[in-house]
Amino acid sequence: MQSADVTPKVWEHILAARAGQACLCCGDWAPGERAAMALYGSMMAAPGTPQVVAQIGQSLDGRVATVTGDAADVSGPDGLAHLHRMRALVDAVIVGVKTALHDNPRLTVRLVSGQNPARVVIDPSGRLPNDARLFAEDGTRRIVIQEVDKPRPAGVEVIQLPRSDWISPPAIVSALRKVGLHHLMVEGGAITIARFIEADLLARLHVAVAPLLIGAGPQGLTTRPVARLAQARRPETQVYGLGTDVLFDCVMGARVAAEVWPHARQPAVRLG
């Protein structure tokens, strides 16, 4: 496991690299700083390059909230800062309607410097009230993906897509590309992330594990079950110490940006 040391100088350098104004390969950096650049560099993509990543924060016993829906502090402070850094490196953050209803999240980057991503909620039946915080006007794009014809607040972009069991995740990615959003992070909850995993759309999956036991409550990822362990997905994984949390950075294989960001080519560790 490598410790990722995200000093303010390293973070500013990563933001500059994202803007095409710096390179993450060269320079005189300490090993922990290099690890931080490898971590964030590997999930970046060049402007206009389609890429989808996902992040979930969970407890040691694989829960993402309590039975009463308290999810605010599942991740420790360093896990939360990591989540905000991930937000700052993508064009848009996607959540499912249950997360929007339970947590009423703002989806901003208030814990780190950087730009807020566009906020996207998948709400096929129009269950999210129009006064939800993620619809609040703050200069950031707000988008709802829905099947129904429900009016939304002024300035909120509505993308109407059909559903069968689900709205097709490739159709969601394609619709967001058409409105200029290429680099996407699916932030939860587990149901929403699972749809993107099953559609083989993820380049990276970040699972941040915090050292606490919750006992019961919504479970982390629940993808289609396999009968035998030999059939289980075993993504190549790098493990990073973030301070309060441990991060599993899993290569899921869809459109990895290694051609664009050479530091992403470092050999990955296979676990299990």
Ligand X SMILES: NC(=O)c1ccc[n+]([C@@H]2O[C@H](COP(=O)([O-])OP(=O)(O)OC[C@H]3O[C@@H](n4cnc5c(N)ncnc54)[C@H](OP(=O)(O)O)[C@@H]3O)[C@@H](O)[C@H]2O)c1
Please state, in angstroms and rounded to a whole number, the distance separating the CA atoms of residues 155 and 57: 31
The contact mask relative to ligand X for 83-102 (x = CB under 6 A, - = no) is ------------xxxxx--x
Residue pointed to by tokens 């380049």: 203
Query: What residue number has its CB nearest to ligand X?
Result: 189
Nearer to ligand X, 99 or 116 (CB): 99
Which pair of tokens denotes residue 212? 């606490």
Of the residues 35, 43, 54, 64, which one makes contact with ligand X according to CB under 6 A? 64
Collect all residues with Cβ–Cβ distance below 8 Å to 8 and sequence separation of at least 6: none
Nearer to ligand X, 32 or 244 (CB): 244
Please state, in angstroms and rounded to a whole number, the distance separating the CA atoms of residues 34 and 53: 21
The contact mask relative to ligand X for 40-59 (x = CB under 6 A, - = no) is ----------------xxx-
Three-state DSSP at 224 gives coil
Residue 214 near residue 61, CB atoms below 8 Å = yes
Please state, in angstroms and rounded to a whole number, the distance separating the CA atoms of residues 139 and 157: 13
The answer to the question of residue 163 lying near ligand X (CB under 6 A) is yes
The answer to the question of residue 76 lying near ligand X (CB under 6 A) is no
Please state, in angstroms and rounded to a whole number, the distance separating the CA atoms of residues 18 and 201: 22
Smallest distance from the beta carbon of 223 to ligand X, in angstroms? 12
Smallest distance from the beta carbon of 175 to ligand X, in angstroms? 12
Cα 170 to Cα 23, 68, 195, 201: the distances in Å are 31, 33, 10, 7
The answer to the question of residue 167 lying near ligand X (CB under 6 A) is yes
Chain residues in the site for ligand X (CB under 6 A): 56-58, 64-65, 69, 71, 74, 95-99, 102-103, 122, 124-125, 127, 163, 166-167, 169, 187-192, 195, 218
